[in-house]
Structure 1
């Protein structure tokens, strides 16, 4: 009989000292260490915080117990100026609990400088050396073994991500905490990594890419408004169950509201009738005062009974809709244009004497939404930088509107108070804050320094800013990095409803295929 280790979270409570609201309060659940678990929830709900709590980086109340150790992704690389092989070997060396043969070497006093020698001697049960094991794993994730000879710093962000995932899964007897691995991966890279992860087990992964999650996970851990739930299945299964539960609760809520109103009116009526009937006992005329009193008391008893049913309905109603995320409709400040918003002919872009792009021609008409698609490094960002006015060497013809709203990939420049940001960007404060509310923000968030916001919340600020700007063309460069699923759906619905003119780069295929009217593949 195989015994599966479990991670036990019992009465976990946590809040940051800098702001008083609870991130988690008395939550308890179990996780099996062979699960492939997707961690989902709106931005700011505490997904990364939960992973950090498992890693022991914050103090908390309650208990977290586990028979396995945790490892976190992304891994921090101390020295990037060495070969990729050295980076991978160093990242797995301190965690080389490799089967019986390796355990014998580990009995040597644990000094980091001895691990290189230990690894060199190691041969697994199939006769592979450590270098051969690494090469096999590198090929599984879609890279050529030659990449291990290259300097790690010269690799693309996507290549670095894949190599660090490899080194993570080469650490034995660890439960892996993988935080947003897709943000530096193009569409093809996401498919390759999804296939790689689907062959593994024993991890929690945070991602907002619905297709990516569906191809990997077998359980969902959802951080909701009022609780934390675990369900078996992938993201689509969870979404279907969530939609059904929300619909049931909305219908039940409406039914109970009607019942409460009807019962309240009936109770008042019975009580009024009882009082009126009781009043007929007084006076000098002949009447059966005992009968009248008995009937009035009976009517009052019925009124009290109806009131009790009303209170029970109110109590039942209070249990509903606590996890319903109401996604209010967003709005755009678009400007209309009769002419083509953008026209490009025979565009050629050079970078460091290297031709990045050659002979590209396309145009964007009013109402078109153009998806600029291709592998990382094919020139997508160069086109966007050129269009927003950065100094890029090029030849060719470009005609564009001067009313452009831009969302960058980068958020690291965001800091300071929100009110100061609003003044600097000359935005309408009420419009911006209203948009942020619709994207899931609470008022308390506006009081914090923007640099303390989560990456998803910073990205939402850039999206809200763009929605508040009057523009003829919206240029969005990977706008959905770190953005939660509910907000993605809101943005999709807004774009399909308002039909703004757009040029966008996005590696979330579900989003791109849903909103694009035209695709340019580089």
Structure 2
């Protein structure tokens, strides 16, 4: 079977001309390929180029067969399931025929097999027979994803494109996407930061402005290969540093030896013990020898300096950022938050119903539940932004909440301005030092928040809340890994592991929850 998609030395750039990646050659057959890379490296742009929505900067691509895109459901909540599936017109024709009001055109256009194919597609997507006239807003996030999957299965494409398909989905929705790919018999190109989803890939395509790499296997084997490359790069950097230090030391020693010989020669000449012609020849030989030695020493130092710069570039590309976390001084049994039979209603709808739990000491707890179950409402109640309809809440005054959009940050202000606005006690130097602890160094403090990536925004939010005095002892994080690339997720994981306070987290990413040490789950 020939490839469904062939990419030949393609390159993409932003509309402003900034290179995204180049020299990508790839043939996609009956396989699942995960596409990874830092935010802004062109992953989504690759899918758009395949769909013909943006031009290639260089190279060519060829498509054999049909292409389908699984989009995250963005339709209006009042749109019906039938409209979301794109079947409203076809179902109206069949309905007119059934009620006896159809005309000749209806009979010509009728898709008689549609009801049977739709039922089969819905069952394959994990849904029972549904009321197609129900508004999308009445379905859970997972059900809406399964409806979108059923739409694909009605007439399966040869090549399936997925762009961050599990973002904002509950566990049910994530499982639906994972099941779809596990059973997919065509080709699939999957842009994702979901490590469980990437684990099932046949190959991993990694994009960056400096390198395009293709790895056979899923996420774990690719991550092991990446980590080994990072270790090699670090070893090369240390070796290059030692060699440059040694070359400089040898050059200095050679310079000192030459200076001693020159001094001895001048003393010998001043003694009058040798003929002038012999002294001239000795001086000429010494000068020539010294010049050659100096040139060789300088060349060796320059060569070692070049090797060091090259090794440092590799580490800069491969090594993730690191953040320094200050201790918060949380005692092991201090009560941070307690819900006692808490209820909260939105109009007539009871969102939270008699919820009770406690969080003490540096415990790490995950709040779980399907989309719409009230997880964000629990955070707002815990932060005092909502008042319970009934029940009682105890809370520490040393807690901080970071929502999905890190809404505490003013998008029109710089990082330095934001951190000083949120922490008025910090002067300019203290604010910059605090940002540096979270890997925003030097001129990066002047960046506007609106220009930051999702991972940088979350890092900036952590810098702001963890620079408060006293430091918060409880962090509440609402889907912190949404819209982050894999490198950023790992940086956040490392930072939260180093934080010695308590965590209350909403996340549908089980690997993230495991990595940050969650030990208890509260299900809504």
- Interval of TM-score (by shorter of Structure 1 and Structure 2): 0.7 to 0.9
SS of equivalent residue, structure 2 residue 343: strand
Alignment of 1:413-432 (within 5 A): 416-419=411-414, 421-422=418-419, 425-426=422-423, 431=431
After TM superposition, give the deviation of residue 45 of structure 1 in Å.
3.8
Per the normalisation by structure 1, the TM-score is 0.78
Alignment CA distance shift 1:442-1:264 (3 Å): closer
Q: State the Cα deviation string for residues 176-230 of structure 1 (Å, max 9, x = none).
A: 432222122223432332122122242332322222321x312222234633322
How far apart, CA to CA, are the structure 2 residues paired with 1:355 and 1:325?
48
State which of 381, 386, 411 in structure 1 corresponds to 2:381: 386
Q: State the Cα deviation string for residues 49-91 of structure 1 (Å, max 9, x = none).
A: 4434444444563234222575544267666644323422449
Q: State the Cα deviation string for residues 106-138 of structure 1 (Å, max 9, x = none).
A: xxxxxxxx99965715xxxxxxx3443333333
Q: What RMSD in Å do the two structures reach over aligned CA positions?
A: 4.0
How far apart, CA to CA, are the structure 2 residues paired with 1:493 and 1:509?
16
What is the aligned partner in structure 1 of residue 26 from structure 2?
A: 31
Alignment CA distance shift 1:487-1:468 (3 Å): farther
Alignment of 1:286-305 (within 5 A): 301=292, 304-305=295-296
How far apart, CA to CA, are the structure 2 residues paired with 1:29 and 1:49?
13
How far apart, CA to CA, are the structure 1 residues paired with 2:347 and 2:281?
105
- The answer as to whether partners of 1:346 and 1:397 remain within 8 angstroms in 2 is yes
Alignment CA distance shift 1:235-1:315 (3 Å): same
Alignment of 1:403-482 (within 5 A): 403-410=398-405, 416-419=411-414, 421-422=418-419, 425-426=422-423, 431=431, 435=435, 438=438, 447-448=447-448, 450=450, 453-469=452-468, 470-482=471-483
Alignment CA distance shift 1:318-1:303 (3 Å): same
- The answer as to whether partners of 1:41 and 1:223 remain within 8 angstroms in 2 is yes
Stretch of structure 1 that moved more, 511-520 or 263-272: 263-272
Alignment of 1:35-434 (within 5 A): 35-58=31-54, 61-68=57-64, 71-74=68-71, 81-90=78-87, 120-121=111-112, 129-146=113-130, 148=132, 150-168=134-152, 172-173=156-157, 175-200=159-184, 201-214=186-199, 216-224=200-208, 226-270=210-254, 273=257, 277=261, 280=265, 283=269, 285=274, 301=292, 304-305=295-296, 307-320=298-311, 321=314, 322-331=316-325, 334=328, 336=330, 339-391=334-386, 394-410=389-405, 416-419=411-414, 421-422=418-419, 425-426=422-423, 431=431
**Highest Rg: 1 or 2?**
2
- The answer as to whether partners of 2:255 and 2:294 remain within 8 angstroms in 1 is yes
SS of equivalent residue, structure 2 residue 167: helix
- The answer as to whether partners of 1:40 and 1:206 remain within 8 angstroms in 2 is yes
After TM superposition, give the deviation of residue 335 of structure 1 in Å.
6.6
How far apart, CA to CA, are the structure 2 residues paired with 1:425 and 1:115?
64
Matched, 1:520 2:522: yes
After TM superposition, give the deviation of residue 308 of structure 1 in Å.
4.3
SS of equivalent residue, structure 1 residue 185: coil
Alignment CA distance shift 1:225-1:332 (3 Å): farther
After TM superposition, give the deviation of residue 421 of structure 1 in Å.
4.9
How far apart, CA to CA, are the structure 2 residues paired with 1:309 and 1:464?
43
How far apart, CA to CA, are the structure 1 residues paired with 2:107 and 2:57?
40
Per the normalisation by structure 2, the TM-score is 0.78
Alignment CA distance shift 1:12-1:66 (3 Å): same
How far apart, CA to CA, are the structure 2 residues paired with 1:202 and 1:391?
47
SS of equivalent residue, structure 1 residue 250: helix
Alignment of 1:489-500 (within 5 A): 489-500=490-501
What is the aligned partner in structure 2 of residue 98 from structure 1?
A: none
How far apart, CA to CA, are the structure 2 residues paired with 1:52 and 1:446?
33
- The answer as to whether partners of 1:274 and 1:297 remain within 8 angstroms in 2 is no
SS of equivalent residue, structure 2 residue 325: coil
Stretch of structure 1 that moved more, 304-313 or 439-448: 439-448
Q: State the Cα deviation string for residues 228-250 of structure 1 (Å, max 9, x = none).
A: 32222211111111111111111
Alignment CA distance shift 1:411-1:258 (3 Å): closer
SS of equivalent residue, structure 1 residue 418: coil
Stretch of structure 1 that moved more, 416-425 or 273-282: 273-282
Stretch of structure 1 that moved more, 186-195 or 57-66: 57-66
Structure 1: tracts of 5 or more residues without a match: 94-113, 122-128
After TM superposition, give the deviation of residue 501 of structure 1 in Å.
2.1
